[in-house]
Structure 1
Amino acid sequence: MKNANLKTIFKTFIAVVAVSVVFAACSKDRYEPQQVAGLSIINAFASPDSLDFYIDQTRANKPALKFNSKIDYLNLFPGNRAFSLTKRGSNKAIASERFNLASGVGYSIFVLDTLNTNTKKYLLTEDDLSAPAADKAKVRFINLSSDAPALSLRVDGKETDLFTNKAFYEYTAFTSVDPGASVTFNIKAADVVKTTLPNVKIEAGKIYTIYAKGVSTATIDSLKLGAAIYTHK
């Protein structure tokens, strides 16, 4: 398997969904647009293991892909692509699956499990990278805690939930939210706050994903139920 040599998509991918990169044609110095898909990779598997993520035969990560680490959007040719995981430095795949990627679409793939006990190895989402409304941000919520109950997300101090009762593997559409210099998000089961994402800066014009992570049975604190947020870029 080759080392990674995948070019990241810059912020224009977020601003314009129909992305293309330009390649030289074979003759007469003509240039023709070549459509691409974008793929962001997030390790949401609550394990201390260090992993490598492969797209077909190409390793996508340089540093090890550890729990809660993320790779920003990569340029990929569309079509049927093979994704696989190995333990760091190994050539033996421990979780493999094929996905169809469409031209001009941004995707996020979440690593969920590498064990035979769970058939849900990955979650692939199609990302709405259209610009937020004026003076707004956009956010979605995903429950990626495999032993958590259905979870809801609420902005601290608000009277209603942003998103309600999402079971493991379920995710919401993006919705508009107000920006703020220090926003706290509460993740709840029924009316009980299970974990909190405190003092987050939410900026107008940006797109965010918040996800529940970890497992309640973990013996390592960093792998226990918690929350994470990232910006789509």
Structure 2
Amino acid sequence: MSLKPFTFSKNTLKLAALSVLGLTITLSSCKLDTPEPVEIAALTIINAAPKANAIDFYLGNQRVNNAEFNFGSQIDYQRVFPGTNKATVKVGGKTDVWYEKNIKLDAGLYYSLYVIENLDSLGYVITEDEYTKPAEGSAKLRFINLSPDAPELTLVVDGDTTNFTRPYKMATPFKNIRVAASHKLTLKNKATGADVATLENVKLTSGRFYTFWAKGLLNTTETNKKIEIKANKAM
């Protein structure tokens, strides 16, 4: 399995305010002065809620997704004006609000927002994505447990369980993993040691960052919602 990389230079976190998501500007004259460069935030959004298929995601009054935002889908990093932003999930193609909450983003930082299941409603898990250079010959990996009915889970990378165990809605820090020709990832129930999902022949690239997360439900008969190991686009 080869993981598609996504390139987003830190230099792009400084740009003219006119091209930032969630910022509305009203022009009151014919002359537009050159806008001052501002430092912004970057946000990627992932639909990790099994029951939330075909949703629309809004920041402020602006819809972020250009196509159906289905379970397991990811919206690439977007430039977002820092500060408090209203983040809203609506039923796909409709005006019905499913979940809404203000989120705070700081300038110059990268974030991942996961739409998750929270009892009978939805919720958000937001991680700050800290990209410091991996060790020579290594990639950096982290794991997030986003399976709403699963217990504490451990992601095993080539037999190594160190620092990759988390309960629901929690993320590990990034960890250096020495890059090999291919890797095998196994998701285990921490309490019983039983395997719950496997991902084989994973190709990692030195110098890249990878987020793997537990997607889906442990107890379901719906094939497209069964628990699996999901990878975000590599950075």
Q: TM-score, normalised by structure 1?
A: 0.85
Structure 2 counterpart of 1:174, one-letter code:
F
Structure 2: runs of 5+ lacking an equivalent: 1-5, 19-31
CA pair 23-50 structure 1, distance change in 2 beyond 3 A: closer
Structure 1: runs of 5+ lacking an equivalent: 1-8
Match of 2:189 in 1: 189
Match of 2:106 in 1: 102
Match of 2:26 in 1: none
Q: 2:127 aligns with which of 110, 125, 136?
A: 125
Q: 1:112 aligns with which of 112, 116, 119?
A: 116
Match of 1:74 in 2: 78
Match of 1:56 in 2: 60
Q: 2:217 aligns with which of 197, 211, 215?
A: 215
Match of 1:200 in 2: 202
Shift of 1:116: 6.0
Any idea what the Cα deviations from partners look like across 1:136-159, whole Å, max 9, x if unmatched? 111100000011110111123x3x
Q: Are 1:19 and 2:13 matched, yes or no? A: yes
What do you get for the CA RMSD once the two structures are aligned? 2.2
- 5 Å-filtered alignment, 1:84-95, equals 84-95=88-99
Shift of 1:58: 0.4
Any idea what the Cα deviations from partners look like across 1:166-220, whole Å, max 9, x if unmatched? 1101111111111233211111113221111211111001100000111122221
Where 1:222 maps in the other structure, the secondary structure is: helix
- 5 Å-filtered alignment, 1:118-197, equals 118=121, 121-156=123-158, 158=159, 160-190=160-190, 191-197=193-199
Count of aligned pairs between the two proteins: 216
Any idea what the Cα deviations from partners look like across 1:20-41, whole Å, max 9, x if unmatched? 11469x64x5x63211100000
Determine if contact 2:8/2:77 at 8 Å carries over to the other structure: no
Where 1:111 maps in the other structure, the secondary structure is: strand
CA pair 162-230 structure 1, distance change in 2 beyond 3 A: farther
Determine if contact 1:141/1:163 at 8 Å carries over to the other structure: no
**Cα distance in 1 for residues equivalent to 2:143 and 2:232:** 11
Shift of 1:135: 1.9
CA pair 200-164 structure 1, distance change in 2 beyond 3 A: closer
Where 2:232 maps in the other structure, the secondary structure is: strand
Q: TM-score, normalised by structure 2?
A: 0.84
Name the % identity. 31
Any idea what the Cα deviations from partners look like across 1:30-60, whole Å, max 9, x if unmatched? x632111000000011136211100110000
CA pair 68-171 structure 1, distance change in 2 beyond 3 A: same
